[in-house]
Chains A and B, each alone.
Chain A
């Protein structure tokens, strides 16, 4: 029987799908609704000294007809009193004793930290998340990402928290840092029970072309905001992977956050070592109901592969993430076009011709519009298969014998790697470059 339940650093939940600390977890009303809809846990909107917010607050990055492929906000932590939040937290726990309610916190002094921890524990919180991530507003007051970017300060605060906390503590990291391993390590050294990441990325999502104001605009002005949503997933996945592979951090439970909208996104995070995932933007876009698709997809994925719990496949992708120097230089693929599927848009042609390796030729017979791959020029870069609008029309065919293995280090050791500027051993598979003047003979594109 497939079992989606988790025990995340001691925090139990019926499934790994949690709401991230953000507007969807502003109130007990929303969290109750979310639990009813199927969410396994919720990280309460960050508590602390309540703030005053501006309007407007959000901006979206649209791509073609896709709205909010990226999302930004200039909101701060909760703008509601602590007493109201605590009363509602207690209420939620009364109705949902088996769901995970995690209190996200952001305060300044050791006294404040230890006080608020007692408060939320008394209200029934199953865990605590330390918000060291908010990249705007709070950091200017020495909180949020100001802490997250300073590993020694971060470690000290985690230590204060660990002195007081009796429930598990999750440290939430900011991605606005050059190496995520530094704050990750500091959190572990401070004694954190778990890590969550990423918070939002410092950004300007756009400029109004009429008013010249950054977006979102507050009375014609704007500020840098926190970027999130589908567009940030690749950045988050890599940061998760870095921590999960780090010898001193590996083993600390990780809650993955950033651009999760479907079960597929969630599975990717789990494969890189996460054992819970958190969602904000997708819920702000579509509401709590999206968890039904996530739950059913995850369940199907696990049933199809015979996984009983998510721990059966958590981290399974990690051994496959290597450093570049350890990749096999003998592996070779070449693009192949399925003429029956091709619709003749010739996007592959122009992409390879202008943007890659001049390895695709237009048909010469005037009838067909199906381009042809020039095998000997193809370096196997993938570009054409990425631009092709038809599913599985361009495939990358394996051309090596599968037996040979050669890494960069081995190449260097064998003295076969280029070492001087004009070394004739430069290049890789199918290294063809036409003469510059041939450009003038091809008709303008």
Chain B
């Protein structure tokens, strides 16, 4: 168990949030790339949501062709560098690597990927350019992984693209949401700059598309619209005491942390409610900020957590304690939260049952709710014809990502309900191809050259 001192400077913050996947040097990349077997119909490729030709780019790295490797990566995934750093590779490419079956360490695909993408970013090497103008305009709402990928792909295909982004930075939750030990702000933003330099899409920052009027204006000006709005703020728990100022949402906590870094002051005792990856992140991050006592509280069992085992292990290794089978009843306090009252739970046929008389109180100075992000239903229902499923996810065609309103396409968290950066990257790119097919049905996909 690690003990973290409260970071007083940016340097100390970086120390506490040391990168889990540091950049490889040339020798490391050479040695690691030499291990790849170059499998036929490689399982790692199948496991990558964007189907990057992994053995190919590894061989390219090995033969001193890092630029070719980067091209192989970006050809399939516009968030190539971010993905290398933030993807849960243990359950994706690296989890599928055949070496696992031999109890040999799988190839470090993510870090090799970063090796190649960093080489071209450092050199400022342009790999792509905007296609010859097609005379069509597309609006994209949201500059997250889905929106950016859609914009890049459309630019290459020759579309005039404008992104409307509510915040003042691109990359969405890559910079505002993922844990700081996975990717630094600089890394996330450098890749965005790198893409923007090569491709002609525009981003209008601090430009939320908020209401029916805004939407109507876009519909009038643009030939198609892509929704890459992601999910909303942390959903309400509907618990007494939830309104205290020291009861906050995990997504908001992480966002503040990413921007304010060491200037964020966490109190000593923190309770994080939830069992997903966001809960693990928030707990890990609280401990790394120097809180002396961080509890994770989840209403079901350890095995039932939505979080990946390695994210849980990481939280535990940062000093986080956990309580399972405990449901929050009430947040205690007068003008500030001073604790959370829980009741123990059991399960019958998957349904949670409270155990009478098993109530207990966890005292704390901060409550972080990591109980899922609200969906954007209120905004989305203003779009005519758009269909949402029961969980308020946008329904789309599985290949073109076209919505119930033919002019609108969508991808990323708003469609998949909340997955990973890599899924956003894939869906944004696919949607761009869907838009291309919709706007210019007779042209070919292959305009990259």
Residues of chain A having any CB pair with chain B under 8 Å: 64-65, 342-347, 349-350, 362, 369, 389-390, 445
Contacts and interface: CB of A to CB of B under 8 A. Distances in A.
B43 interface: yes
Contacts of A349: 40
B102 A346 contact: no
Interface in B15-56: 30-31, 34-35, 37-43
A343 to B, nearest CB: 4
B99 interface: yes
B98 A344 contact: yes
B101 interface: yes
A343 B40 contact: no
B30 A346 contact: no
A345 B30 contact: no
A389 B40 CA distance: 13
Contact of B40 (A64, A65, A342, A345): A345
B41 to A, nearest CB: 6
Given A343-B99, A344-B98, A390-B102, A350 B40 contact: yes
Interface of B: 30-31, 34-35, 37-43, 62, 98-99, 101-102
Interface centre among A64, A345, A362 (most CB of B within 10 A): A345
Contacts of B43: 344, 369
Contact of A343 (B34, B35, B38, B102): B102
Contacts of B99: 343
A153 B215 CA distance: 96
For chain A, what secondary structure do more than half of its interface residues adopt (helix, strand, loop), or is it mixed? loop
A343 B102 CA distance: 7
Contacts, number: 36
Given A64-B62, A390-B102, A347 B39 contact: yes
Contacts of A343: 98-99, 101-102
19 contacts: A64-B34, A65-B30, A65-B31, A65-B35, A343-B99, A343-B101, A343-B102, A344-B98, A344-B101, A345-B42, A346-B40, A346-B41, A347-B37, A347-B38, A349-B40, A350-B40, A369-B43, A389-B37, A390-B102
Given A65-B30, A65-B31, A65-B34, 16 more contacts: A64-B34, A343-B98, A343-B101, A343-B102, A344-B98, A345-B37, A345-B40, A345-B42, A346-B40, A346-B41, A347-B37, A347-B40, A369-B98, A389-B37, A389-B102, A445-B40
A342 B102 CA distance: 9
Complex A-B, nearest 7 residue pairs according to Cβ-Cβ distance, in ascending order: A65-B34, A343-B101, A346-B40, A64-B34, A350-B40, A345-B39, A343-B98
Contacts of B98: 343-345, 369
B96 to A, nearest CB: 10
A350 B38 CA distance: 11
A350 B99 CA distance: 18
Contacts of A369: 43, 98
A345 B40 CA distance: 6
